[in-house]
Amino acid sequence: MNTTQMEATAKFLSRLSDLYSNISNWVQPQYLRVVRFNMKLNEEAYGKYDVEKLSIIDANGKRIGELLPVGASVIGAEGRVDLIGDVDQEILVYLDDGGPHFTTEIEVGGQQERRTTPLYRGVEEDGWYWIEIRRLSRARRLDQALFLDLLAEVSDHACC
Amino acid sequence: MRAVEAIEEIWLTYQVTKDALKVATHGINRGAIELLQDTFFINSSTDKAKSDLETCRRSAGDYAILSMWAIFERHVLDALVSENGKMLDMPLSDFNSSLHRKIGDAI
């Protein structure tokens, strides 16, 4: 792994760690706890590296959800982790302020016009986002309320 | 549609599919999200997207061969039915009547 690759994976791991810390605080009032497990990711762009996944456990010791890192090399995002429950799964992506965007240039009568189009609406700061409706390109910043809703959705767990 | 036209259409579909997959692969390799917008590739890991494209490329080839074979098989069966029917127009003999029955049963 070269320096650029190491920096990219270190950034991804640090963002994951921040997310896990937030989730740990968010689920505590619901009498849930989290446990981190080591795993390995192997990406063509970065090679093999160590990463943590996160299990969310209820008061009876039953795992109701898991955050499974998918990778740092993701199309249209700076990293991805999947929230997986017994009944469904949701995709969480890390987006930089403004999100991914592309620029088109049109030249009409010698005048050049540049237009920048964001891939998603609603990305106003760096952070983890849930893509609410991909067809409408709407991203929602992950916070406690949203995370608990998503957890309930994927796990069918009553307490969330 | 004649068999040859059907096979030409299958071949054209295969070629266009292969080229569309090539365009998608270029888009992924170059990070051209404007090409990939509103597709399922967005938010997919790069490795998964590439492996899905490879699977799709192989499947497209397999399906093209399978479709062409189905058309060819249908064409052969139609030809056999037609030639088998002509046998009855000939002076009937034990040989051609039993051959006609045998071919008819097999089809």
pLDDT given for residue A159 in this prediction: 60
pLDDT given for residue A134 in this prediction: 65
Question: To the nearest whole angstrom, how far is the Cα of B39 from the nearest Cα of chain A?
Answer: 9
CB-CB contact of A16 with A36 (8 Å)? no
pLDDT of A70 strictly over 70:
yes
pTM over 0.80, yes/no: no
pLDDT band at A3 (very low <50, low <70, confident <90, very high): confident
Q: pLDDT tens digits, residue range B32-83? A: 988 898 888 999 999 999 999 999 999 999 999 999 999 999 999 988 888 8
Q: Which residue has better confidence, B9 or B94? A: B9
- Spell out the SS3 assignment of chain B: CCHHHHHHHHHHHHHHHHHHHHHHHHHHHCCCHHHHCCCCCCCCEHHHHHHHHHHHHHHHHHHHHHHHHHHHHHHHHHHHHHHHHHHCCCCCCHHHHHHHHHHHHHC
pLDDT given for residue A67 in this prediction: 98
Test A102 with B33 for CB contact under 8 angstroms.
Answer: yes
- Alpha-carbon distance B83 to B66, whole Å? 26
Q: Which residue has better confidence, A142 or B78? A: A142
CA-nearest of A74, A81, A121, A153 to B40 is A74
Interfacial residues of B (vs A; Cβ cutoff 8 Å): 28, 31-34, 36-38, 41-50
Our measurement of the distance from residue B50's CA atom to the centroid of its chain's CA atoms, rounded to an integer in Å, reads 24
CB-CB contact of B25 with B53 (8 Å)? yes
Q: Which residue has better confidence, B2 or A83? A: A83
Question: To the nearest whole angstrom, how far is the Cα of A96 from the nearest Cα of chain B?
Answer: 14
Between chain A and chain B, the number of residue pairs with CB atoms below 8 A apart is 58
pLDDT given for residue A124 in this prediction: 92
- Map out the domains of chain A as residue ranges: 3-155
Q: Which of A5, A51, A70, A75 to mutate to test the interface with B (most CBs of B within 10 A)?
A: A75
List Cβ neighbours of A140 (8 Å cut-off, separation of 6 or more): A122, A129, A130, A131, A132, A146
Our measurement of the distance from residue A17's CA atom to the centroid of its chain's CA atoms, rounded to an integer in Å, reads 12
Test B46 with A74 for CB contact under 8 angstroms.
Answer: yes
- Alpha-carbon distance B49 to B39, whole Å? 11
Residues of chain B contacting residue A114, judged by C-beta atoms under 8 Å apart: none
Test A73 with B47 for CB contact under 8 angstroms.
Answer: yes
- Alpha-carbon distance A141 to B98, whole Å? 78
Reduced to 3 states (helix: H, G, I; strand: E, B; else coil), residue B89 is coil
Q: Would residue A55 be called left, alpha or beta, if left means φ above 0 and alpha means ψ between -120 and 50 degrees?
A: beta
Contacts for B79-85: CB closer than 8 Å, 24+ residues apart: B80/B107, B81/B107
Quick one: average pLDDT of A89-105? 91
pLDDT given for residue A43 in this prediction: 93
Our measurement of the distance from residue B53's CA atom to the centroid of its chain's CA atoms, rounded to an integer in Å, reads 19
Residue range(s) defining the domain that contains residue B74: 3-106
pLDDT of A141 strictly over 90:
yes
- Alpha-carbon distance A129 to A118, whole Å? 15
Residues of chain A contacting residue B30, judged by C-beta atoms under 8 Å apart: none
Q: Pick the most confident of A128-142, A146-160, B8-22.
A: B8-22
Q: pLDDT tens digits, residue range B11-37? A: 999 999 999 999 999 999 998 988 898
Quick one: average pLDDT of A94-123? 88
Test A73 with B45 for CB contact under 8 angstroms.
Answer: yes
pLDDT given for residue B2 in this prediction: 86
Report the mean per-residue pLDDT for chain A: 91
CB-CB contact of A21 with A13 (8 Å)? no
pLDDT given for residue A101 in this prediction: 87
- Alpha-carbon distance B11 to B17, whole Å? 10
Nearest to B46 among A73, A100, A135 (CB): A73
Per the structure, how many domains does chain B have?
1
Residue A51, strand partner residues: A39
Q: Which of B47, B50, B51, B54 to mutate to test the interface with A (most CBs of A within 10 A)?
A: B47
Question: To the nearest whole angstrom, how far is the Cα of A61 from the nearest Cα of chain B?
Answer: 32
pLDDT given for residue B18 in this prediction: 95
pLDDT given for residue A112 in this prediction: 87
Q: What is this model's ipTM?
A: 0.72
